[in-house]
Amino acid sequence: MCRPAYYAVEYAINPWMDTTAPVDAALACTQWEALADAYTALGHEVVRLEPEPGLPDMVYSANGAFVVDGIAYGASFRYPERRPEADAHEKWYRTSGWAYAEPEFINEGEGDFTYLPGRELILAGWGFRTDARAHAEAADVFGRPVVSLRLVDPRYYHLDTALAPLDDERIAYYPEAFAPGSRLLLERLFPDAVLADAEDAAGFGLNFVSDGRNVVINAEAAGFAKKLRDAGYEPVPVDLSELKKGGGSVKCCTPDRRGAPREPAPRINRRAGEPAALVHRPFGLRGDRVEDADRACRGVRESPALPAPWSQQGLRPTRRPWWS
């Protein structure tokens, strides 16, 4: 996590940012410390990244990389105002002994990637910040299936503002943030998901961090906290009203290291051969109709990483995959 020592809203790169609205930097630091204390109280270790002057959004440290199996897939920010942050994160991972995969395509780390270890499945968002081609790149880096989900509401410009894992296999999400095909896919993959409504999403209720039981959540999302409690989880509300002015909340401030530093796994060259794992075609590149989603769900390419039940069905793509 990165303390908001230089936090300010000096530019507007998402609908939540208003450069004319006052920001209380001291209060932002106090709220951030309360978030870090909440993690410590729950028994989690908090590692701090030093903030750098001139980078007011470094507090949203989840955007700096995506980590699975001790390998950090680096970020490449879309907006020039945030691009120097990627260097700070890369330096931290490399000097700390982590395997670091340099990105070729624009992506904003855990803003648009999340991982469900129980399913060995990566969920990835695109539509506003992350280049959809980064999804195939992530599959190559981690050797994990990647499911591409198209975001369509600019208020929920990152996946972590519209969807979050509750435990190793279950998620919560706001359906209206996604294109119809992506909604259909989420319904099929996660029939037991906890669904948020418009009020829950606007309160940044989905920008939470869960350890499988305790869900650290923005205090403004009281209604969604009740839904989580009814679903068997324990909400831990934290007030991050100042940091919400920059378009982020709990999860934006909290990357997950997922594993320990290790040597990088062999990387497959996408241009020379097959992806390392199944990657669903991002719905919307050629249309968002529900029937397109259904066709894409059936039209997967086989690879050694596919679960046996799928590969035994003899499935073949209905048209040329977008990564080829």
User: Which domains are assigned to the chain?
Assistant: 25-311 (3.75.10.10)
CB-CB neighbours of 63 under 10 Å = 27
- Whole-number Å distance between alpha carbons of 266 and 316: 26
CB atoms within 10 A of CB 50: 10
- CA-to-CA distance for 13 and 79, rounded, in angstroms? 8
User: Which is catalytic among the residues 158, 253, 280, 297?
Assistant: 158
Instruction: Check: CB of residue 177 under 8 Å from CB of residue 202.
Output: no
Q: Is 252 a catalytic residue?
A: yes
Q: What is the pTM of this model?
A: 0.82
Provide CB contacts within 8 A for 162, sequence distance 6+. 125, 151, 153, 156, 173, 174, 177, 178, 201, 206
Report the chain's mean pLDDT, rounded to a whole number: 86
Angstrom distance (rounded) from CA 186 to CA 237: 27
CB contact at 8 A, 175 and 284: no
The answer to whether 126 and 151 have CB atoms below 8 angstroms apart is yes
Q: CA 247 from chain center: how many Å?
A: 14
DSSP alpha helix (H) spans, 143-207 = 180-189, 198-202
User: Could you give the strand order of the β-sheet that contains 146-150, starting from the edge strand earlier in sequence?
Assistant: 113-116, 121-126, 146-150
As a whole number of angstroms, the distance between CA 179 and CA 188 comes to: 14
Q: Is 158 a residue of the active site?
A: yes
Q: Are 146 and 122 within 8 A, CB to CB?
A: yes
Q: How far apart are CA 248 and CA 32, in angstroms?
A: 12
CA 159 to CA 106: how far, in whole Å?
15
* Given the residues 2, 89, 135, 252, the one annotated as active site: 252
Tokens of 104: 């070729």
> Cα(277)–Cα(297) distance, rounded to whole angstroms?
15
Distance from chain centroid for Cα 203: 18
At residue 261, the pLDDT reads 77
pLDDT per position in the chain (324 positions), as tens? Answer: 999 999 999 999 999 999 999 999 999 999 999 999 999 999 999 999 999 999 999 999 999 999 999 999 999 999 999 999 999 999 999 999 999 999 999 999 999 999 999 999 999 999 999 999 999 999 999 999 999 999 999 999 999 999 999 999 999 999 999 999 999 999 999 999 999 999 999 999 999 999 999 999 999 999 999 999 999 999 999 999 999 999 999 999 999 988 777 655 444 333 333 333 333 333 333 334 333 433 443 333 333 333 333 333 343 333 333 333
- Give the span between the Cα atoms of 32 and 185, in whole angstroms: 35
The predicted pLDDT at position 142 comes to: 96
| Half-sphere exposure for 236 (CA within 13 Å, toward CB) | 19
Identify the bridge partners of residue 116 per DSSP, sorted by sequence position: 121
Say how far apart CA 296 and CA 273 lie, in whole Å: 21
